[in-house]
Amino acid sequence: MTHTPQITDSHCHLDFPDFDGELDQVIARATEAGVSRMVSICTKVEGEAKVRAIAEAHAPVFYAAATHPMSVGKGAMFTFDMLVALAQHPKFVGIGETGLDYHYTAETAVAQQDSLRIHCAAAHATGLPLIIHSRDADDDMARILAEEHANGAFDCVMHCFSSSAELARAALDLGFYLSMSGIAAFPRSKDLRDIFAAAPIDRILVETDSPYLAPPPHRGKRNEPAFTAHTARVGAEVFGLDYADFAARTQENFDRLFAKAAQWQEAA
């Protein structure tokens, strides 16, 4: 029997209505595809209970929470104290996704920056990695991350990275990680693949951001954690590795960055 290399979907949204009534099957398909762990991301305060319940009910699922930049100013927002309290949960493994989005919500740029700084402080205080969303905000993102990291060091992953080579270098120079989503597998994403290829292999994660951004051959359809394997196969090509080697390297990277999830696995 052939062993399926194990990988981790480091960023998905299993609480979204796209998966309602089908979670057991979605997680089973992920496991069958070798996706042995998933980090489900909460993007607003009112969704935390549902995301937490999914993680508690499914052994392969962990969770993280933050105020998504596009949710800033649209209701209750996570505070520093709330995030520190959530970090006590055994399956709460990251602070995110937070960040800056000037493409859709530039009108709240200043408030987004304030929220991002709160999340940076929480990552430093808890020792959990920061999970960053960045869109059309490269200069401010690089500046704020550098400033906050100088104020108090933290680990970080640039989720669904599809920004400039300059932001990639700024993040890598801070010791951060870049995560490959289905965008990196799109045929027209050669420039993005070149950015990843220039990064150290020990700073690479893979993800789906499901239900969005399904990689080929599922592009245009609902994405799900099992499809992480398609992106990872493209990642293996980018780094000139066979799939099993690339999978093993990304697992090591995930375990290093999301140490709490790795430790939970060992204790389970």
226 Cα distance to chain centroid: 15
Q: Is 3 annotated as a binding residue?
A: no
Q: Is 209 annotated as a binding residue?
A: yes
CB 155 within 8 A of CB 123: yes
Scanning the chain, the segments in alpha helix (DSSP H) are 23-32, 48-57, 80-86, 109-126, 138-151, 165-173, 190-197, 228-238, 243-257, 259-267
Task: For 70, list phi and psi in degrees, rounded to 5.
Answer: -75, -10
Q: How far is CA 267 from CA 36, 64, 91, 161, 203, in A?
A: 16, 20, 12, 31, 25
SS3 268: coil
**Residue that the structure tokens 């696995």 belong to:** 265
Task: For 63, list phi and psi in degrees, rounded to 5.
Answer: -145, 160
86 Cα distance to chain centroid: 18
Q: Is 11 annotated as a binding residue?
A: yes
DSSP string, 26-50: HHHHHHHTTEEEEEEEE-SGGGHHH
Task: For 65, list phi and psi in degrees, rounded to 5.
Answer: -150, 150
Q: Is 230 annotated as a binding residue?
A: no
Task: For 5, list phi and psi in degrees, rounded to 5.
Answer: -55, 140
Q: Is 149 annotated as a binding residue?
A: no
Q: Is 159 annotated as a binding residue?
A: yes
**Residues flagged as binding site:** 11, 13, 97, 133, 159, 209
Binding-site residue numbers for a divalent metal cation are 11, 13, 97, 133, 159, 209
